[in-house]
Chains A and B, each alone.
Chain A
Amino acid sequence: GAVVSQHPSWVICKSGTSVKIECRSLDFQATTMFWYRQFPKQSLMLMATSNEGSKATYEQGVEKDKFLINHASLTLSTLTVTSAHPEDSSFYICSALAGGVGTQYFGPGTRLLVL
């Protein structure tokens, strides 16, 4: 199946700093990628939809100035958590849409801990 990678797999940072998470589709091109967030014992919540070459579409309640998304190529999308605070600590997961079959494939996730 299609492979999606994320980097880093986990990160610890100090409050107020920014953190960048990369999402790559390794063996297919993805015009659309998605970013999800998952808190402990909860389900995945869609944060934003990222389309290559255009601005991301954010879900209601997600601050676009805090969670910066860039989808500069057909295989790479990045999520930057700006001025991170402890409440941003979560499991961030990306997915990529395999256009030919309409199936989303997920990355392994990035665990963020803000101290």
Chain B
Amino acid sequence: DAKTTQPPSMDCAEGRAANLPCNHSTISGNEYVYWYRQIHSQGPQYIIHGLKNNETNEMASLIITEDRKSSTLILPHATLRDTAVYYCIVRVRYGNKLVFGAGTILRVKS
């Protein structure tokens, strides 16, 4: 599975949009981009995934560049409860493993 690169940390003001970038320049054509987050002392929570089209659900939006070498997770109106470690993972859709990198620590501040 392709490797991803994320900034180690980011800050965001409460109520503003949080834009979390992820680079995955070696992504293969059949690999999806998955985003999970982990709030302190909890199991990871699935957020969203996509292949090449932009995706949106009740939690977030996922913007994937046309060349698929990078993506951005957007939390449209961040709240204090969105403070967590966000993981960007690329994986073949029905592949077994999720390989977690260091992720991005997002701190939402009031």
Listed in ascending order, the chain A residues whose CB lies under 8 Å from chain B are 1, 4, 6, 32, 34, 36, 43-46, 49, 91, 93, 95, 97, 102-109, 111
Contact = CB atoms under 8 A, between A and B. Distances in A.
Nearest to A2: B46
B49 A43 contact: no
Nearest to B36: A106
B97 A46 contact: yes
A95 B100 CA distance: 13
Contact of A109 (B36, B42, B97, B102): B42
A109 B96 contact: no
A51 B97 CA distance: 13
A111 B32 CA distance: 31
B43 A107 contact: yes
B99 to A, nearest CB: 7
Nearest to B103: A43
Interface size on B, as a range, is 20 to 34
Interface in B19-45: 32, 34, 36, 38, 41-45
A34 B99 CA distance: 12
B42 to A, nearest CB: 6
B69 interface: no
Interface in B87-104: 87, 93-103
Contacts of A49: 96-97
A104 B42 contact: no
B96 A93 contact: no
B44 A44 contact: yes
B36 to A, nearest CB: 8
Interface in B75-96: 87, 93-96
8 contacts: A4-B43, A36-B100, A43-B100, A49-B96, A95-B43, A95-B44, A106-B45, A109-B41
